[in-house]
Amino acid sequence: MSILSGKNILLGISAGIAAYKTASLVRLFVKTGASVKVVMTPASKDFITPLTLSTLSKHPVYSSFTNEEDDNAIWNSHVDLGLWADIFLIAPATANTMSKMANGICDNLLLATYLSAKCPVYFAPAMDLDMYKHESTLHSFKTLKSYGNIMIPATSGELASGLVGEGRMAEPENILQFIENDILNKLPLKGKRILITAGPTYEAIDPVRFIGNHSSGKMGFEIAKASAHLGAEVILITGPTHEKVSHALINMVPVVSAEDMYNAVHRYFENSDIAILSAAVADFKPKEVASQKIKKSDNTLTLELEKTKDILASLGAIKTHQFLVGFALETNNEIENAKDKLKRKNLDLIVLNSLNDSGAGFKTETNKVTFINDKNEITEFQLKSKAEVATDLLNEIIKQLNA
């Protein structure tokens, strides 16, 4: 899955021959899972039609402040477009449009939207080689970059004039890759490897029965997705669950039992920077597992249970550089029990859940948590979606790492 999946991308097209490439650019963005809208300068419609771009983007194309329909003027708000966008790409960016951007000239919808945008702005210059090297163009480059805009450099090649040289707009595939790499390199967890456990474990009684719990795995999966969106490489070790995830930065490792999870966690822990153990691992397992299905011959069944390996404590005992996070699900004396677990298992942070809180715990879309760090500092949160809890947790980890 691309880092652009779920993003709102606004494509601004100015009047250059390279505008014909924007059809491919829109298709590439849509394939990443992004939502794409297009705003054009009036003159750019001489190079590619709004109908083509509207069909590919599945959104209306904007080129003027109003649309005339049945003699009623419909306002196209440049402010709304600027606020909608997570990313604003101007491609092709002609010398004329860049000069206006650099000097605050606002004589069309694209330029008004540019001045209203609050998101990162990328621009991909396209023009003939002499124009590209002209002092005024170089000044526009410098000024636009000083404003925080990000330039996607032109390449050398055959130009519309028939000359060969610098000024050719980057190819759509390269523009997409440039933006993806730029976003990834700026993410706070870029270069970090995060180990996450999720879901329940199933401890076999016989070939068809097991001891388990009600964990859905949703909290761990949301942490994994949030970690990947922040640039981390994620190892997601998960017990049996119906949760799904698809992301290029997430490597999912399915397991079944506590023993399986113990072995998988220890396989990846040494090379991890952060470990977040959110799985609901069984504390006990049957001492003996029947090789055949146990027949229902008596009114009662006695099982002898033995403790499973304590995965969290085992990591706390061997950690070196890793930031180790555990979860505590409590029903009484919550804070005291969580603090005790934090200390006993040598954690850097513990996430406390209470089954006494409505909307928290297993099989819910929400959670209510409290963070306690190794300095015994406590941060309480109100009921939130598990996706929001995941974001809060990662923000707390980043803050602790940067402290």
Q: Would you call the peptide bond into 92 cis, given omega within 30 degrees of 0 as the criterion?
A: yes
Question: Do 350 and 221 share a domain, yes or no?
Answer: yes
- Tally DSSP H helices, then E strands, for the chain: 13, 24
Distance CA 167, CA 129 (A): 5
**Helical H runs in 200-292?**
218-229, 258-269
pLDDT of residue 1: 67
What whole-number distance in Å separates Cα of residue 352 and Cα of residue 370?
Answer: 5
Residue 3 within any structural domain of the chain? no
Same domain for 322 and 360, yes or no, is yes
Contact of 352 with 373, CB cutoff 8 Å = no
Distance, in Å, from the CA atom of 77 to the CA atom of 22, rounded to the nearest integer, reads 23
43 found inside a domain? yes
The residues assigned a catalytic role are 213
Cβ count near 43 (within 10 Å) = 16
Residue 125: the pLDDT is 96
Question: Is the domain of 157 the same as that of 283?
Answer: no
Same domain, 209 and 303: yes
Structural domain containing residue 369: 193-402
121 inside domain: yes
If asked whether residues 338 and 275 sit together in one domain, one would say yes
The predicted pLDDT at position 284 comes to 94
Is the same domain home to 224 and 316? yes
- Answer yes or no: are the C-beta atoms of 307 and 360 closer than 8 Å: no
Contact 115, 83 (CB under 8 A): no
Q: Consecutive 10-residue runs of the chain (403 residues): their mean pLDDT?
A: 87 96 97 96 95 96 77 77 96 97 95 96 93 94 97 86 80 96 92 96 94 92 95 96 90 97 98 96 93 84 92 97 93 89 96 75 80 94 93 96 86
Of 171, 186, 201, the position where a domain reaches its end is 186
Q: Which of 124, 159, 186 is the last residue of a domain?
A: 186
The answer to whether residues 182 and 225 belong to one domain is no
CATH code for the domain in which residue 65 is found = 3.40.50.1950
Q: Could you say which of 146, 164, 186 is where a domain stops?
A: 186
